[in-house]
Amino acid sequence: MSGIKYTKERKVKLIYFAGILGLILLFPPRARCATGACVSGDCQNGTGKFVYADGSWLEGGFKDGKANGAVAYHAAGGFEYRGSYKNGVRSGQGTTTWPDGDYFTGNFENDQREGFGTFYHKDGKIVQQGRYSQGKFVEPESSSANAAAVKASAPPRRRPRLKRQARMGM
């Protein structure tokens, strides 16, 4: 039976390689620049701003290093969320805005639309209004106390200033 002959030099290289591999497996690299960094405030237990490596940022309350309470999140691609977070995920009342200007205002649980909410087109027209479950629209609801409450909490859309108002300093 002929086997592979290991020279002393080859054995040293194998042991060195196995040692490096073992260290990487035991202590995987977690470079701060790969995930992001806290650029202001206290992103552990307080209020701060955390910027991710891709340019996305999250600003608001933090507890145990996770977003908690009132938070604003802006993704590098233009997606935005303003509202409540709990343990690092969207939970409670909030508004999600997509890059094309469409937006959803309503309730979230475990990072998904849950309960009553309204999906708006960018021009402010209602696309869907009703109950959501696990992120999916399940039941229309057009006239209820919930609908009025959610519409009242929708983010105000800025009206363009007229040239005359701009000249007059209004």
* DSSP letter string, 6-63: PPHHHHHHHHHHHHHHHHHHHS----HHHHEEEEEE-SSSEEEEEEETTS-EEEEEEE
Q: Is residue 77 part of a domain?
A: yes
Share of the chain above pLDDT 90, in %: 56
pLDDT at 142: 59
Confidence (pLDDT) at 152: 55
Q: Per the domain annotation, does 142 fall within a domain?
A: yes
Total count of domains within the chain? 1
pLDDT of residue 77: 87
159: helix, coil or strand?
coil
Residues 6+ apart with CB under 8 A from 142: 129, 130
* 167 has pLDDT over 50: no
What's the mean pLDDT in 84-105?
A: 94
Higher pLDDT among residues 128 and 1, named by residue:
128
The CATH number of the domain holding residue 85 is 2.20.110.10
Which domain, by its residues, includes 91?
Answer: 36-156
Residue 161 located in a structural domain: no
Average of per-residue pLDDT values in the chain = 77
Asked if the structure places residue 170 within a domain, the reply is no
Q: pLDDT at position 35, please?
A: 81
Quick one: pLDDT band at residue 161, thresholds 50, 70, 90? very low
84 inside domain: yes
Residue 7 lies in a domain: no
pLDDT, one tens digit per residue, over 1-24 is 456 666 766 665 556 555 554 444
Closest residue by Cα to residue 123 from 97, 157, 81, 162: 157
3-state secondary structure of 152: helix
pLDDT bucket at 154, cuts 50 / 70 / 90: low
Q: Is residue 168 one of the residues assigned to a domain?
A: no
* Chain segment 28-45, per-residue pLDDT in tens: 433 333 388 999 999 999
| Domain-embedded: residue 27 | no
